[in-house]
Structure 1
């Protein structure tokens, strides 16, 4: 009932791939919830809402340049790492605000099939460097696979645009805490919004908790709601019994 397949991938690691079809019980609503999270976090960062919350608690009328000189979403370039259902919905939502969007995937896709979500597509290692270097926000919704582990290394993130922001709603394996803190303290990252981590719950000893440039949420960007799981099951049952392709099929060999 969630997007990640780590548990199933581990179970089948030393076994033959299943001969039967498998699908997620998550729905399009899951992608909707995650896109809302991304849009909300971008606006909150651009308008310094967390700082104004603190100033309100201090009973302070804080009308500084930080809150008066913000960027509109239409001024921003955002790259979404992962162009599946979730990534496409994030791109579509951002484009509704006139944001310039690009998508990165491991393999090449036909741009015409994704033009509803992305203005530009990147793939491959060189494409990843180009993607992060041309973006104000880097949004990762990548799954946990051997290929994605450590993908956002310090050496890769050094190519990011100065002052860019990383939002991770996929899996925590894509970047190590050490590399992330290095890029926050030495540049080029201005901030990180993290909903997923290498270890969950995030240990109390983690430096991320108190880092001034980090926003932490407890893996809640998208949640599996009972009504959505039930609706997805009913729809897929109808499809299965009438010989139609199932929605939200997964490939254990790929890990997503």
Structure 2
């Protein structure tokens, strides 16, 4: 029998992950990683080169998964002027995600249209049988703007092999990864050294100990007291859907 499992639902987690997404997009657009590498190499001439970049209000960002974290991310992106496209697993009305999502698509049948105009793809979907390999095979050939993938959801939405193929074939421009098909990441993985891959150690949600005490412990205590009292729990996982 499945046991009762709950997840964190407080707004603090959603805001932290939304900030990670915006930060990585700005970092990529402004070429700060390249500038830093020129600093390390003491490349004085290259370091002074101006980097042409797009502002956030010039970008279309596709957000995959519009739960609490996804909607918060869409809201933050919209606040910076981005055009936001949304993809959800189960059908819902567009009015349920307005005014933070400009266009909405559903499931695998809507994926091709969702991908067409995105400059960035932000994955915030959970790991379920319906999301495994969702961006695999050759589905990314339909992403005409060669988007950057920002994966802060689950790594199994695309295999390493399919990700490498998408990069090498030019279907996507780059990948920013905070989660992976295999964790820990094998030492021989191409991800460590690929010039168009940025990796972070699955910490997009993480903050200091004060945050953990204030949010995680507080929410656990409230849920535990509700459990003992026979009251409904917040963030209870549905074992049928997988999240």
Distance in 2 (alpha carbons) for counterparts of 1:48 and 1:84: 30
Distance in 1 (alpha carbons) for counterparts of 2:134 and 2:170: 18
Distance in 2 (alpha carbons) for counterparts of 1:72 and 1:110: 30
Distance in 2 (alpha carbons) for counterparts of 1:143 and 1:79: 16
What does residue 226 of structure 1 align with? 213
Higher relative contact order (CA 8 A, sep 6+): 1
Aligned residues: 237
Distance in 2 (alpha carbons) for counterparts of 1:64 and 1:246: 55
Distance in 2 (alpha carbons) for counterparts of 1:162 and 1:116: 24
Deviations 1:164-222 (A, max 9, x none): 10011111111011111111111121100011111111111001110000001111111
Compute the displacement of 1:227 (Å). 2.2
The runs of 4+ residues in structure 1 deviating greater than 4 Å are 237-245
What does residue 250 of structure 1 align with? 237
Asked if 1:198 is matched to 2:185, the reply is: no
TM-score between the two structures when normalised by the length of structure 2: 0.89
What does residue 91 of structure 2 align with? 108
What does residue 217 of structure 1 align with? 200
For structure 2, which runs of at least 5 residues remain unmatched after alignment? none
Distance in 1 (alpha carbons) for counterparts of 2:164 and 2:225: 48
Distance in 2 (alpha carbons) for counterparts of 1:84 and 1:239: 23
Compute the displacement of 1:163 (Å). 2.8
For structure 1, which runs of at least 5 residues remain unmatched after alignment? 1-14
What does residue 172 of structure 2 align with? 189
What does residue 72 of structure 2 align with? 89
TM-score between the two structures when normalised by the length of structure 1: 0.85
What does residue 64 of structure 1 align with? 49
Distance in 2 (alpha carbons) for counterparts of 1:95 and 1:185: 31
User: Over the residues paired in the alignment, what is the CA RMSD in angstroms?
Assistant: 2.1
Which of 116, 126, 139 is matched with 1:156 structurally?
Answer: 139
Compute the displacement of 1:242 (Å). 8.3
Distance in 2 (alpha carbons) for counterparts of 1:188 and 1:174: 16
Compute the displacement of 1:56 (Å). 1.5
Compute the displacement of 1:27 (Å). 2.5
What does residue 78 of structure 1 align with? 61
Distance 1:241 1:115, change over 3 A: farther
What does residue 132 of structure 1 align with? 115
1:104–1:121 Cα contact (<8 Å) kept: yes
